[in-house]
Structure 1
């Protein structure tokens, strides 16, 4: 595996490393939820569904480094959307959108067409803004329904 990483450019190596960290940490997430909350462990097993997608990034990097760098924040965004739906907005999983945005910003590489970075950057930030807007709208509905 170290020979494969040596052949990849440094930004793609970092992408593969982040993907491996996520893949290795995903199985421990239900234990983490159980130790902190005590309930919701069954629902937290749903987070394991995205682990194969992150694993696929490590194999994609060999064929297309640029596609791997784009896939990491995109899969991370969809994983964050799924986990926000799974656990609810009170869980704070929307904070992972910030990590997705940082991954896009750090994965820019001028040789391989950094212009594709901007649509990927807009996806996590748009999702985050949409969730915030819906939350404000719903809280506004609750306030108006309570007033006499």
Structure 2
């Protein structure tokens, strides 16, 4: 379990300035940092020409590679965004992370939140957190509809809410 997590370094310019100016704390800091990290991930994928006409399914955020350890974000087709949490900090700041993802992906994105329970247990996540989570859930339904996605022109059927992501 992590005791200390670095969210930003002083050399990160605009992000560091925003944190200092706002005097942000808790969820505000997480939302600012997550939004910046997701914004950068979007920019990196755009540099790789993602999404494009023949590819609308791709990994937007790859945990540590995008400086958001324990958080994976997959874009599944034109409207589904699957956020996978495998770290306790992600569960604690779930609402802030969701707000950051929505800010970058747009309000029309159908956000699906998934947990990697075995990994979360290593961080101390247990039934108490899970029960609190269920009580705090939005009314947002995760319908398990099948969608057709494309990767390099090949078409696949996928179930964003329940299908395997990798």
- Is this a same-fold pair by TM over 0.5? no
The structure where strand makes up a greater share of residues is 2
The structure where helix makes up a greater share of residues is 1
Larger Rg: 1
Q: TM-score, normalised by structure 2?
A: 0.30
